[in-house]
Amino acid sequence: MNRTEKVESVDELHQKFQTMTLFVVADYQGFTVDQFTRLRVDLRAANSELHVVKNRLARKAAERTAVEVLGDSFRGPTVIAMTAADPVAVAKVLTKYATKKDEKPLKLRGGLLAGTKLAPQDVEALATLPGLPELRAKLVGLLVAAPRKFLGVLQAPGRDMVGVLHARGQALGEGG
């Protein structure tokens, strides 16, 4: 990689560091090409990006951004997952690969969510939260349930009155 390519790489990474909301740094040592391919596909499905970075260039790109606090995480074989979309979905994918027993696991080093530094266990805790689609579904369910319950309350007196009149009509019919 010549100097021009390095400058372009740093500039591109710097731009991403300014626009993304979640960053997770991990060690990929021992990962196979097949594992990397599956990880990239899964992260792409979660609307995120995965970048293998040179540590020196990543530290340089992180200067004057919130990601600068992750500087100590840039050591050894480093990969950065980042997204501006659903951070929970990305955390779920990375945690899945970090806890695999049958393959060499991804080693989470830490992350950054909206300016807050995350330890590896914080990334795993983030993965246990419901995702954005689940939260939206719950919100829609709550919004639909309230008017439905209100209409049920409004219709109850009318139903009760009809029931009373029907019972009285039957009682009169039997007695008369």
Average pLDDT, integer, range 123-131: 80
pTM of the predicted protein model: 0.68
Class of domain 3-129: alpha beta
Predicted confidence band of residue 176 (pLDDT cuts 50, 70, 90): low
Alpha-carbon Rg for the chain, nearest whole angstrom, is 28
Residue pair 60/9 in contact by the 8 Å Cβ criterion: no
At 127, the pLDDT band (50, 70, 90 cuts) reads confident
pLDDT class of 175 with cuts at 50, 70, 90: low
Return the domain boundaries, the chain: 3-129, 130-176
Query: CA angle at residue 17 from 11 to 21, to 5 degrees?
Result: 155
Mean pLDDT value of segment 57-62: 81
11-22: average pLDDT: 81
Write the CB contacts of 42 (distance below 8 Å, at least 6 apart in sequence). 93, 96, 97
